[in-house]
Amino acid sequence: MNIEKESALRSRGWFGRAGKDGFIYRAWMKKQGIPAYELAGKPIIGICNTWSELTPCNSHFRELAEAVKRGVLEAGGYPVEFPVMSLGETLMKPTAMLYRNLVSMDVEESIRANPLDGVVLLCGCDKTTPALVMGACSVDIPAIVVSGGPMLTGRHKGRSIGTSDIWRFSEEFRSGRMTDQELTLAEAGMCRSDGHCAVMGTASTMACMVEALGLSLPDNAAIPAPDSARKVLSHQSGVEIVNMVRQNRKPSDILTREAFENAIMVNAAIGGSTNFVIHLLAIAGRVGVPLTLEDFDKFSAGIPLIANLQPSGEFFMEDIYYAGGLPVVLRELQGYLHKSCVTANGKTIEDNCKGALCYNAGVIATVGAPFNNISGIVVLKGNLCEQGAIIKPSAASPHLMQHRGRAVVFEDIDDYKNKIDDPDLEVDENSILILKNVGPKGYPGMPEVGNMGLPPKLLDKGITDMIRISDGRMSGTGFGTVVLHASPEAAAGGNFAVVRTGDMITLNVPERLLTIEVSEAELEQRKQEWKPQPNHTARGYVSLFTQHVEQACFGADFDFLKGMSGSEVTKDSH
Ligand code: FES
């Protein structure tokens, strides 16, 4: 690096200062044993760590951080690791999604407030990826993502299992086909190693998303967590972030409108999670790229499903890595993608996947002979969801894609829990289950309850799928004919708020329609009588959240966080 560039380093605003200020900035860093020359013009690289023993998917991140540090040092930078709030999907109540925006604020302010020239984002469990990317985008200094990688495939009774099986086990247990003892045995075989969920759930979808957007090095998405290649990639990312600082390659240089379109196409090809929609919208909002719900349908359309991964298919993340990883998917999609999009390493997305070879056509098919022609996210419109709702057709039942049925409405999650096991519940396999008040404001936090379990009396009849509609989300590991993110949510008082048991509902996926057979006059009358549910938890962060969270169709970010605010700090206290 030449002196001119060194003087342009953001960190020189701290360590390059004379007098008392520079003295304080340097002296307190030196107390950690850092020699003076390390702070004398090297790029200072933050390693934003979501390690936590309460986020088991990210519990190996200290080791990854050490590998990143080795890469940063090798390239002539100086690494400093810092913690941010971590989001463990399985343990956090009421839902980790309630805190995605909070973490993004933690990340944004931690980066901006400190003497950092670039940042490595250690992301793993579902929400940690969008939260860190959103925060880093708001500051817009060079940033690269290192994902923690998927865990090894689970094993139970001699067969492969993953998180999607939890939903099957649950239904088998509720219907009495699986004993408590068997469930405990399955539990022991589910999580065999470090890493996040081993199917194409939200965490893996997010890891693929960052690779497709160009925010990581190639191969980041699928290397299993315990594979030594994950540490090699972490090391190389440490090298690369120093290069990115030297070349001043920022998120805003990578995250163009075309990059977002690429990510949507890739998500369709891999059968990615529905949560992809809400997180990509939020990221686009941070960098000021106009992206709408309709774009997900438009750019998904015609993209074949080529990755044969659960929950839409058969295999696991470990398998896609052995088959060649995401670069094979990207190479296969070259006829669709914007090939000249620049990625973290300065190369185009086309260059990054040019030599990728497929080693298992059963796991990664070709666009000419795809695993499934049905893919992507379909955006539904109609008088039951005036601002839209989504469905993932590849995870749904073909016979329910055009269906008219009687609504069975649950006003909230407690109402659902109280009624669903009732043998007298008036419901049959043609009914449509509707769950209200699980949206961003209504719950609050928009939990993953949209793929609600079926009534036991229908499970007993061998029914395995029904249409379920909610203003909530679904785990990326879930499946079924599940309509999600109905906007405006019930708590916002639209038509979804006033749907009643007995109303006739039509779902027509090919026509993109979701309608309620109630006259406009009757809907208006009901809305006049409608009262929002009381909010008993309106203090502190939850109060801020309910006042400022946007609807799911816009990404459920806070209204005051749209757009970048940059890295400049105009005041300091020394
Ligand atoms: Fe962390 Fe699934 S619970 S990725």
**pLDDT tens, residue by residue, 445-487:** 999 999 999 999 999 899 999 999 999 999 888 889 999 999 9
- What is the predicted pLDDT for the residue at 4? 43
Distance 285 CA to ligand 1 centre (A): 25
Between helix 275-287 and helix 257-270 the angle, nearest 10°, is: 170
Residue 197 near ligand 1, beta carbon < 6 Å? yes
Q: What is 373-424 written as a DSSP string?
A: S--S-EEEEETTEEEEEEE-GGGS-GGGSEEEEEEEEESSHHHHHHHTT-TT
pLDDT in tens, 64-77: 999 999 999 999 99
pLDDT in tens, 481-491: 999 999 999 99
Which tokens in the block code for residue 406?
Answer: 């009687």
- Amino acid making up residue 541: Y
What's the gap between Cα 180 and its chain centre? 32
Residue 71 near ligand 1, beta carbon < 6 Å? no
Distance 196 CA to ligand 1 centre (A): 5
Helix H or strand E segment including 80: strand 78-83
The mean pLDDT value for 264-288 works out to 97
Residue 89 near ligand 1, beta carbon < 6 Å? yes
Residue 196 near ligand 1, beta carbon < 6 Å? yes
Distance 40 CA to ligand 1 centre (A): 41
Residue spans of alpha helices (H) in 214-256? 228-246, 251-254
Residue 126 near ligand 1, beta carbon < 6 Å? yes
Peptide bond before 393: cis, by omega within 30 degrees of 0?
no
User: What end-to-end distance do the CA atoms of the chain give, in Å?
Assistant: 29
Please give the Cα distance from 499 to 436 (Å, whole number): 9
Residue 303 near ligand 1, beta carbon < 6 Å? no
Contacts of 443 (CB under 8 A, 6+ apart): 94, 95, 98, 413, 437, 472
Contacts of 171 (CB under 8 A, 6+ apart): 453, 454, 459, 464
Helix H or strand E segment including 469: strand 467-470
Residue 200 near ligand 1, beta carbon < 6 Å? no
What's the gap between Cα 25 and its chain centre? 37
The mean pLDDT value for 348-359 works out to 97
| pLDDT over 50 (residue 2) | no
- Residue 136: which pLDDT band, with cuts at 50, 70 and 90? very high
Please give the Cα distance from 122 to 295 (Å, whole number): 29
| pLDDT over 60 (residue 3) | no
**CA-203 nearest atom, ligand 1:** 4
Helix H or strand E segment including 46: strand 44-49
Strands 143-147 and 402-410: unpaired
- What is the predicted pLDDT for the residue at 570? 82
Q: Residue 348 has what DSSP assignment?
A: B
Q: CB atoms < 10 A from the CB of 387, how many?
A: 18
Residue 47 near ligand 1, beta carbon < 6 Å? no
For 503, phi then psi, to 5°, come to -60, 145
- Residue 164: which pLDDT band, with cuts at 50, 70 and 90? confident
**CA-124 nearest atom, ligand 1:** 4
pLDDT in tens, 372-399: 888 889 999 999 999 999 999 988 999 9
- What is the predicted pLDDT for the residue at 534? 77
Distance 130 CA to ligand 1 centre (A): 14
For 471-512, strand residue ranges (E) read 482-487, 504-508
